[in-house]
Amino acid sequence: MVEREQFGQLNRRSLLVGMASWAIGQGLLGCSQQNSIPLTIEMLRASIPSQLLQRFRQQVKQSTPSVALNVVSEAQLQILFSQLQSWQQSSQQPQSASSRSWFDQIPFLGKGKTGIPDLVTLGDFWLSNAVKQGLLQPFSETDRAGLTSWPQLVNNPKLSEILLRNDQGQVDARGQVWGIPYRLSSTVIAYRRDILKQRGLPPPTDWQDLWRPEFRGRISLLNQPREVIGLALKKLGHSYNTEDLATVPDLKPTLQALNQQAKFYSSDAYLQPLMLDDTWIAVGWSLDVLPLGDRLSKIAAVIPASGTALSADLWVRPKTAVAKLSAPALAWLDFWWQPEIAAQLSLLTWGISPALLGQPLDQLPEDLRDHPLLFPEGKVLQASEFLKPLPEKSLQQYQQVWAEMRSPVAAT
């Protein structure tokens, strides 16, 4: 899945500004102390609220007063994936101290002596390639034994579908754990509540509504083959993760008809035409859509009744990070599974905490009951799927079907 961000930027300034005030102002929490236990996190910007970072800092200091917490954020998942690649490449090429970045040589501001963080955010979309390219190390049995949240994680039937991977990144029940999820999101249908009401049109409730004749030329679609072909597969009663598209005889005409409905394809600007009345419907990611709907009453959204695509932000371990997770690192992983923290994370970031996934709406904290779109539940959740990695032959087939579908609507 492509990356999403909402909040401000991390700006690395000159040391001359003043080390202490600089670090605090940029969100690099904690201070370096002699004999301290370092914990460095590199995360996707806006996926963790600053107030919860402060809560973690206060909590971990109670058990480990000497911890030095350093949090760095990046704007895009692509950047984080590229970081993993560069760290791996650097580890294979010996460097002198003079050739390393001055920033990485300063534990107070950089990422410790090795320049490698303990944990990094990665989307499940990127996980397969990261494992296949040898960029990660798995969470060992010892690591998992140190997590109080592990039983809750491993026993969740929806999360267990993507938890274990082999060394090629493919889902495998006999594989290893390469990522610990901390935030989930879904693909939703956004629509203009005011326009549909004015025209006496019922709002969409499922994928099949995208083919309604009154919506022809009024739909924004994601510029993503797996998403668009996947929603057509769901309409036809098949899985997002269908490996052989040739086994779905009605797929190509269904996609051609959907292409005639579309006015616009984009993975990052699909909401603008919706706000400007150019489209009435937009297929998009909940992390983008739900905050907009909260600000603008004319924008509404629905999780398709036949199920949707799910995605996860995960904590992963760089291949070149220290071999054993420290106690503060384990505390970091567990922190996001605490019920109170999970509820706040869901409210403040418009993502779903995996700790709350699958709970009936009436059992969620009261503040969350006003946001049912955050939480697919019941049959909808059961029918929803993570986009699992497909064999190379299948990916080529998806690209071919996508190319045949696309014409003459231009991608952005």
Does position 409 have pLDDT exceeding 50, yes or no?
Answer: yes
Does position 401 have pLDDT exceeding 50, yes or no?
Answer: yes
Average pLDDT, the chain: 85
Q: Per residue in 98-112, pLDDT tens?
A: 444 444 444 434 444
Residue environment code for 228-262, b if the CB has 16+ CB neighbours within 10 A, otherwise e: bbbbbbbbbebebbbeebeebeebeebbeebbebb
- The reported pLDDT for the residue numbered 247 is 97
- The reported pLDDT for the residue numbered 408 is 65
Q: From residue 336, how far is each of 139, 194, 285, 343, 355 by CA, in Å? A: 17, 38, 22, 9, 8
- The reported pLDDT for the residue numbered 94 is 55
Stretch 367-392: mean pLDDT, rounded? 88
- The reported pLDDT for the residue numbered 373 is 83
Which residues are CB-neighbours of 294 under 8 A, at least 6 positions away? none
The CATH classification number of 186-309+381-405 equals 3.40.190.10
Q: Lowest-confidence range among 27-36, 128-137, 198-207, 361-370?
A: 27-36
pTM, rounded to two decimals: 0.84
- The reported pLDDT for the residue numbered 358 is 82
Does position 17 have pLDDT exceeding 50, yes or no?
Answer: no
Does position 244 have pLDDT exceeding 70, yes or no?
Answer: yes
- The reported pLDDT for the residue numbered 284 is 97
Stretch 232-257: mean pLDDT, rounded? 97
**Cα separation of 117 and 43, whole Å?**
10
Q: Which pairing describes strands 309-318 and 385-386: parallel, antiparallel, or unpaired?
A: parallel
Does position 288 have pLDDT exceeding 90, yes or no?
Answer: yes
* % the chain with pLDDT above 90: 69
Domain boundaries of the chain, sorted by first residue: 15-184+311-375, 186-309+381-405
Stretch 178-186: mean pLDDT, rounded? 95
* % the chain with pLDDT above 70: 85
**Cα separation of 189 and 146, whole Å?**
40
- The reported pLDDT for the residue numbered 12 is 29
Stretch 183-204: mean pLDDT, rounded? 97
Say which residue the tokens 């501001």 belong to: 109
Q: Per residue in 204-217, pLDDT tens?
A: 999 999 999 999 99
Q: How does residue 276 score in pLDDT terms, banded at 50, 70 and 90?
A: very high
- The reported pLDDT for the residue numbered 93 is 64
Q: Lowest-confidence range among 88-102, 120-134, 392-406?
A: 88-102
The CATH classification number of 15-184+311-375 equals 3.40.190.10
Q: How does residue 346 score in pLDDT terms, banded at 50, 70 and 90?
A: very high
E-strand spans in 84-216? Answer: 119-123, 136-137, 164-165, 176-177, 180-192
Does position 8 have pLDDT exceeding 60, yes or no?
Answer: no
Which residues are CB-neighbours of 309 under 8 A, at least 6 positions away? 186, 187, 226, 227, 230, 231, 240, 384, 385, 386, 387
Extract long-range pairs of 159-165: CB within 8 Å, 24+ residues apart.
Answer: 159/312, 159/354, 159/357, 161/385, 161/386, 161/388, 162/124, 162/312, 162/386, 162/388, 165/127, 165/128, 165/131
Same fold, 15-184+311-375 and 186-309+381-405: yes
In the chain the first and final C-alpha atoms are separated, in Å, by 16
Does position 97 have pLDDT exceeding 60, yes or no?
Answer: no
